[in-house]
Structure 1
Amino acid sequence: MTYDYCVIGGGIVGLATAMELLERTPSASLILLEKEDVLSKHQTGHNSGVIHAGIYYAPGSAKAELCKRGAQATKDFCSEHGIRFEVCGKLLVASTPLEMQRMQALYERSQLNGLNVERLDASELQLREPNIVGLGGLFVDATGIVSYREVCDAMANVVRLKGGEIRLSRQVTGIKETADWVSVDTESETSTARQLVVCAGLQSDRLARLAGISIDHQIVPFRGEYFRLPPSKDSIVKHLIYPIPDPELPFLGVHLTRMIDGSVTVGPNAVLGFGRERYRKWSVDVRDVAEYASFPGFWRTVGQNLRSGTTEMRNSLFKKGYLEQCRKYCPSLVLEDLLPYEAGIRAQAVMRDGTLVHDFLFAQTPRMVHVCNAPSPAATSAIPIGTMIVDRMLRAH
């Protein structure tokens, strides 16, 4: 059968894109292909469930605008579909004089982004969160928490109700574009569509190459390792607790996250992964490692981030170092509080010159759009990202 649209990828960006395509073109036929036997199995299903407000992003940038719009769209979607979410707010805690300077810069950025952010001194911080210490903090009231797996299930229901097909366990083995259509081969069937969008996350570069697109980047997996606190400490904080991030580093630092099920997690760090979809510690995919080890950009990235990478790896090996990252702002935590929790893996696009891609990256042909990099806060921003992708597709025709 020939469809109007084919979407590859059953994470939140792929589902949001499928939903938007059917909203904008109600009579269109659409098929979504997902290689796993469930939706949202990888990045979407392993993130911390935060609805970000957008405090970190450069004013006027696509990320800042998409995050702000996405946070509201996510809350509206949850309200419409009966999905539980909570707007608990986020506290960013400064532990050193240098972090106080960075905190001021973040506050100024937040004002340019039009966010409601409150500055707290040490005593106000302690009053707001008795178990947290710091020289000061920023309170972002719009930050929330949700289960993105539940969001994805609801999006899938919308796609089906609007006439879209979702087929699971469909590993894509070939993509061919002609002047009039794109054919997508899986191990069991071939689907043909007038237009194709690929939202493949950890496999995005491989599918771009499979489609014959010349790209200059490689996906390198970074593990985000988490712990959870024991149930006796589920009420240790009222809000999400984040450190003030180092602007020189690509990740936000270890934080305390209240989850929508009532538990509290600690994490994540950011260490090199030994497999794109290997979540257990020390689990290795030889193909994945060989692929990024043969990419010159990987070694340039290692060289540029050697110091921070070594620290992250040491803290991964020795739980005490990981704990100290948390004790800077939550000194009551002890080693016994860090209970096992499943890791996540971030698909980080790395350019040939070693640059980490922090913004959205697309590859487009007359009949295909490949989402090559959809960085955090992609889950929060998924609904407007889907709109942006559909705009690209419809402009091409």
Structure 2
Amino acid sequence: MSRQLKLGAILTGVGTGQADWLSPEIPGDASVNIDWYREQARQAEAAKFDLVFIVDSPYITPDSAPHYLNRLEPLTLLSAIAGATSKIGLVATLTTSYTEPFNVARQFASLDLISKGRAGWNVVTTGLEGAAGNFGREEHIDHTERYRKAREHLEVVQGLWDSYEDDAFPRDKQHNRFLDPSRQHRLDHKGEFFSVTGPLNIARSRQGQPVIFQAGISESGRALAADFAEGIFAGVDNFEDAQAYYRDVKRRTAQAGRNPEHVVILPGIAPIIADTDEEARAIERHLHGELDLDKALVHLGRPFNYHDFKQYPLDAPFPELGDLGSNGYRGHAEHIKQVAREQQLTLRQAALRFATPFSHFVGSPQTVADEIERWFVEGASDGFNIRVTAPSEFKAFTERVLPLLRAKGLFREEYSHDTLRGHLGLPVVENRHTLARRVDAGLKIPA
């Protein structure tokens, strides 16, 4: 089979759930322990995963999940992981709302060179309104404005990444010729949000540019993904919604004049694997039974800028929230409202429903492998992002499920590339200035 599953490992240290960190397998300092991260990344690479993914956000409260409270900055972390691995892709989250394009372009270009072409940027606009106070603002940037800013930010960053053509540095010591100035290009961008002269002071990597990822499910998020994303960490929680999202994003990508096959959609999942389906379901029920309702209510409030849900009756219908959440994680907030309304959930039911990671993949190794195959073959995903918590749970996936997927011909036995673009089947991005010169010369343009 030519089409292959793409797999990512989400490394979250002590965990984004309520009680992940209580596992005896997880060090209490895992989120700031570089040795823990390196070991998990090595395990993912040994299993031939495409990438490891580091989540991030610039705002916390005392009620934030343990991993959010004390964690390493993603690009610093991935630079350290780069030296401990050689093949696996390295993807970090960074906001466009509270960063400058020049710095972002330089940071990711550096990671791309350090890792020899394995970097990826998960572009977010920051849904937490409290982040504004950490960057000198009284109010969070409006949702619509955030996405306009994200578009311009991306255009500037990608323009800066093309500051140097691939042959810009002859490094000819005999003739004292380090740079070919004709292959260096200023950007001279002046837009609504940014004014950037350029050029960037770092060359391109073997993969041309870092891979652009995106995770939004709102209308604005989908539109941004159609124009820019090469990978999407989709937030869906059932097969039908995943199929609809997959079709919608691929359609939008084609309408934007891009090849839909050059966008890989990877929902995040947390498989529960046991010897039998019954045992796995029992584990799932046990995990749900141990949920702390107060913490579940806090977790429910995060997409609504940590709205206090404790003020409402637990067993009354999910409260009417109006536009609350529209300037935060809009897509996630609207999804919660919609599910609660359509399924007539009480507040208690909604809190428990959304307090746990998506665990649709529950059962024996064969059951989980078969469900992964169904999603992949029937157009619900191009692969998955697997949440890594306790090492034994990740080991159960890599040692018991992956062999079944390989037997189905769905996943690689060995790496055939050593760049992130190569793993994901994405083309190397040709420098725009080189491309323009080829067009001017009437030369054939690669597909």
Give the structure, 1 or 2, with the largest relative contact order (CA under 8 Å, sep 6 or more).
1
TM-score normalised per structure 2: 0.27
Structure with bigger helix share is: 2
Identify, as 1 or 2, the structure richer in strand: 1
The structure with the larger Rg is 2
TM-score normalised over the length of structure 1: 0.29
